Amino acid sequence: MAATTYRDMDCTPGDVWDVLADGWLYGLWVVGASRIRDVDASWPAPDSRIHHSVGSWPLLINDTTSVLVCEPARSLRLRARAWPSGEAEVLIEIEPLGSGARVRIVEDAVSGPGKLVPPPLRSALLRPRNVEALRRLSYLAERRAADRPGRLRPATNTAPDQIAAD
């Protein structure tokens, strides 16, 4: 049972994609990524990787997230490694929604100890993390959109976070 969370954003799908396509921003919106050590030059092409660390200094674990499938401005499927807890597959989908975008994250453990957690509990644990990740992604994408020349700055997005039924 994958955890599914979405958020409506006051920016275009392209604005969201611009943030996702900049691997150096990963640590700003992904909850748990404490620093980015390197980003493959081909990011976000399939098989490219972000080299990140998880945890707080001095207890840092170096790991990677790799791209499985990339459809620019539409979706990004990732394999996120965070050992010793395991690996997860993360699907980020971007849909046009009026003048804005709806961004959905679907995540589930695929290997390691995290896979042993019962699916309903695993989903319950992943959802709050992904709600916060979408909030952070929204702040980055909406601010970048607001800073474009000729665009009026939108009101702060106070839309409630949405959790989709599994």
Specify the pLDDT at position 52: 96
Residue for token digits 């390691």? Answer: 112
pLDDT digits (tens, 9 = 90+) for 52-111: 999 888 899 999 999 999 999 999 999 999 888 899 999 999 999 999 999 999 999 999
Burial 110-132 (b: 16+ CB within 10 A, else e): eeeebeebeeeebbeebbebbbb
Record the pTM: 0.89
User: 3-163, what's its fold?
Assistant: Alpha-D-Glucose-1,6-Bisphosphate; Chain A, domain 4 (3.30.530)
- Where are the domains positioned within the chain? 3-163
Strongest mean pLDDT among 45-54, 80-89, 148-157: 45-54
Tokens of 139: 């702040």
